């Protein structure tokens, strides 16, 4: 797998664009400048790898646009050694960013073709990310509670089963709505109390 001077230059421009759009977490921006996004897109779409747009992958799914990855990650407030659950592995790009930020990442994918392809990619990259083939609605109780949960597909409501797998003080970030979604952050402030905030309009594939 190659990472050319051209690729690095395009990533630098991508990161500058993200900064102009309001992404302020410099540690996150450094990681996004380091990680070759073109490793995670289909070869046929290589020329578009650093455009700020979602791109199609297998099974009618997409790799989220860089700004979406950045805003969701920034809302998680990732710290080293955080345990993070991702629902919707997809291309693996989001999980890889979280891993590079120093988190322990657990990711679930329900499309078998995507699961197999992305697991092979993780192996090829030599990255230790826990992967699971299955229904993300159930979460991954074996490794709960989590510091953060990120859902990379749209849902009509917050899955309460996933909220219960957050630590006290933990954050869940997900798009909520039908057709277009509102990026929402849920913070677990006590055993039975949660606070929510909204962070813009996005468009995601639905949570199946």
* Mean pLDDT across 13-39: 98
pTM to 2 decimals?
0.95
The verdict on domain 60-202 having CATH code 3.60.20.10 is: no
* Mean pLDDT across 155-162: 89
Q: Which residues pair with 182 in a beta bridge?
A: 176, 201
Q: Which residues are catalytic?
A: 64
3-class secondary-structure state, position 65: coil
* Mean pLDDT across 67-93: 97
Tokens 């690095």 — which residue?
8
Q: Which residues does 181 contact at the CB level (< 8 Å), separation at least 6? A: 154, 175, 201, 202, 203, 204
* Mean pLDDT across 141-152: 97
> Is 99 within 8 Å of 129 (Cβ atoms)?
yes
C-alpha closest to that of 63 among 33, 94, 29: 94
> Is 138 within 8 Å of 151 (Cβ atoms)?
no
């Amino acid at each position: 797998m190659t990472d050319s001077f051209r690729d690095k230059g395009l990533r630098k421009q991508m990161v500058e664009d993200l900064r102009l759009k309001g992404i302020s977490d410099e540690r996150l921006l450094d990681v996004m400048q380091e990680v070759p996004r073109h490793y995670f897109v289909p070869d046929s779409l290589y020329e578009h790898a650093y455009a700020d747009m979602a791109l199609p992958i297998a099974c009618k799914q997409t790799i989220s646009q860089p700004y979406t990855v950045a805003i969701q990650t920034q809302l998680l407030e990732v710290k080293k050694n955080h345990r993070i659950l991702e629902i919707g592995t997809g291309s693996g790009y989001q999980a890889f960013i979280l891993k590079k930020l120093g988190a322990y990442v657990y990711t679930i994918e329900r499309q078998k073709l995507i699961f197999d392809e992305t697991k092979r990619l993780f192996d090829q990259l030599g990255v230790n990310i826990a992967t699971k083939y299955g229904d993300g609605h159930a979460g991954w109780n074996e490794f709960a509670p989590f510091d953060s949960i990120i859902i990379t597909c749209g849902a009509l409501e917050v899955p309460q089963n996933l909220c219960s797998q957050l630590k006290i003080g933990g954050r869940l970030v997900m798009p909520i709505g039908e057709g277009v979604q509102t990026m929402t952050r849920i913070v677990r402030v006590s055993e039975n109390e949660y606070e929510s905030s909204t962070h813009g309009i996005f468009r995601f594939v639905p949570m199946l």
